[in-house]
Structure 1
Amino acid sequence: MMAADPKQQATDERLAALTLPEGGGWLGAARKDALGRLQAVRLPGRRDEYWRYTNPTPLVQTAPALDVPDQVEDPFAGLDTLVVTIDGDDISVPDTVPDGLEIGTLRNAAGADIHWAKDVYGRREAAGSRPVSRPLAMLNSAFATNGLVIRATGQVTQPIHIRTTGGTDPILHHVVKVESGASVTLLESGVAGARSNIVTEIEVADTGTFHHIRVDGPVRARHVNTHLFARLGTESTFKSFTLSAHGALTRNEAVIELTGDDAVSHIAGAAFGQGDFHHDDTVFVTHDAENCESRQVYKKVLRDGAVGVFQGKILVKEGAQKTDGYQISQSLLLDDDSVFLAKPELEIYADDVACSHGSTTGAIDETALFYLRSRGVPERDATNLLVLSFLAEAVEEIEDEGLRAHVSERLADWLSRD
């Protein structure tokens, strides 16, 4: 008798533990399509090309294995934000929102025969799963129990803050549409449970602007898998930054398509952790239009045997002339036991481009550390100052000065506690 295929077995076990949410119509069709695609590719295994550095088992197993707090501190406390609260798959949406903004729930949107989310849900994820399959995102599209549907039709100056609480493990799927000339900022924080699977699909129309900041931490025992799928129109802007502190296993995937001329995409991340911390950023940016700009800036600080992973690709399609693509991934190892694994990639089919990538790993600058110590700065404080300086390039990708300063303060505060 042939041994069972581990990927097939893991897929069968996971699907047996789930039930497709009720409801038909456009959302039911999208869910069935995603389920069919998942069954064809199966859940990921260690032999899959983009899972060689990260063991997917904790993200695909059926039984919760971790204990996390129901709530964590609010990293955006003190800011004037429009707060949306998510507890499990229960979502509390504000009664009133600024002009030019619509906020609802996926559960309610599913009941509408015609809804703008129909043209986005599952479609960005399906497009982003070619040529590299993303089965955990397919699982999300098939079984998401709820999520937010956000549409910006004007200039929304007040940031939307998605604040997640509760110790359950919901599968959440958010859909964001930024209409032509509109702009919106989305903040995310909190803890969704011991094992989180969250997908956000974003459509940015011509001349639209979308800013995104996610802060994960400082929860040590948690398994997190997130996906961002975005498509950018002509002269549109997409900027995303993620700060991750601790956590047992985090894998953040971002798939960005620049489909309109003169579009701009910046995606960045800063992470620090210790011990069993394993942090994986996997990014795929596709240039499919002329004169577009993309930046990937990732920094990780690791100690006590922590592991950091970066897999980043820039694909420049034929005809995407005058592409400006930049990618940098760097790690600061605070001991000899920590590991940083990087896989930068460029694939270019146009001849008038300026693309570059680089990856470095290093230890703390002993000369700089000695300089600070010689001027009376305690070793711990001196180390934290050097860590903050190292992470600064990623944090600087936050365009709004106030939000950038706020995130920097939270980062400094968390470092001082370790």
Structure 2
Amino acid sequence: MNAPVQPERASHASRIQRVSTRCGVEAWLVEDYTVPLVALEFAALGGSSQDPAGKPGVSYFLSGILDEGAGPYDSAAFHERLDEFAIELRFHTDRDVFSGHLRTLAKRKDEAFDMLRLCLAEPRFDDEPMERVRHQIEAGIRHEINDPDSMASRAFFETAFPGHPYGRAVHGSLESLPTIGRDDLLDYRRRVIARDAIRIGVVGAIDAATLSAALDSIFGDLPAKAERAPVADVKPAAIGTRKVIDLDIPQSSVRFGGPGLARRDPDWIPGLVVNHILGGGVFSARLFREVREKRGLAYSVYSHLAPLQHAAMFMGGTSTKNERTAESIALIESEILGMAEHGPTADELDKAKKYLIGSYALNFDTSTKIAGQLVRIQLDDLGVDYMDRRNGLVQAVTLEDTARVAKRLLGEGKLLVTVVGRPVGLYSE
């Protein structure tokens, strides 16, 4: 369980220390001695978009193998040591970012920091764990290629981003996975996980001087500069079309979307409010009311903003019976068009602002969540005072703002739609 953090009495920004080190990395630190824990999150820009074009899945493979032995410890010894000192350590990748998570008792921080250092600087990539992880990923891919939701999402990105790194599967493919070797992992680590690309957030029972020395040890042996391949900025393609993938199942999985808003766009906060009202995953959202409550077409329906580093997306999804898929998609498109043309009501705006402001504190109720937020704010370049400013930005959104941004975001209501199943009367366009 993550450490609970006491309610704030001072501003978030006043508690954040920017800790610089001799090796050139910087971390944002929030000292908190409520419980004797330390949480560290880091992220390196790159993610699966840095996979070689012919080898999707390198980044994902690396995230699964880094904690399977390092330095003097083989896989079994490494995990025994993590268990012995109660250290939580894992890695993750998405389309834009390779990230790491560490949580430890404060009294074991030296051992924990050294384990993270070994993962990054001296990974072993021994034959047995390499093949074990490869088989685990292969099993996951085999599941995904027969899972309707995964198929619909994969088809959406392939169709929206043909020939672009975002169109490739993050987890790789059954064809690429056997070709990924030790040299590919080492090359990715060298090119992507470098000191100038890393953003770090730390929360817990540690002071700035101790952290600075630890960061020099953990990250000091990494390359000074990343050598990322350029990734083109891109807009989603095939908007206004539908792609149906035939699968003999009783209900269809649907993904839909179109252009969105970049995270640094001045209209991001009004766009966040608009999406919350439209389909932001709450019972009051229009899509939920119209699709589920009034007509019983689906158990769940949602939409969200997806600001990638090189593309901005508005996305959503649902699952429904084959014979009602066409009706559900038509209703979703109608609601999106209605929001674009007329915007929210004053009552919807008021409720959305109250929810978004009131729920924001849930992002900071554990040390791990706070550390993650510190990293995310650095990646998005929002400024050290963003956590203090954010609710005021939401409160300042007006009905005129939401009407304007709804029209800009949703346009004519046209969507790229991918469907997996046997939807009655619905065909690829």
TM-score by length of 2: 0.25
* TM-score normalised by length of structure 1: 0.25
Between structures 1 and 2, the one with greater strand share = 1
Which is richer in helix?
2
Q: Which has the higher contact order (CA 8 A, sep 6+)?
A: 2
Question: If you compute each CA radius of gyration, which structure gives the higher value, 1 or 2?
Answer: 2
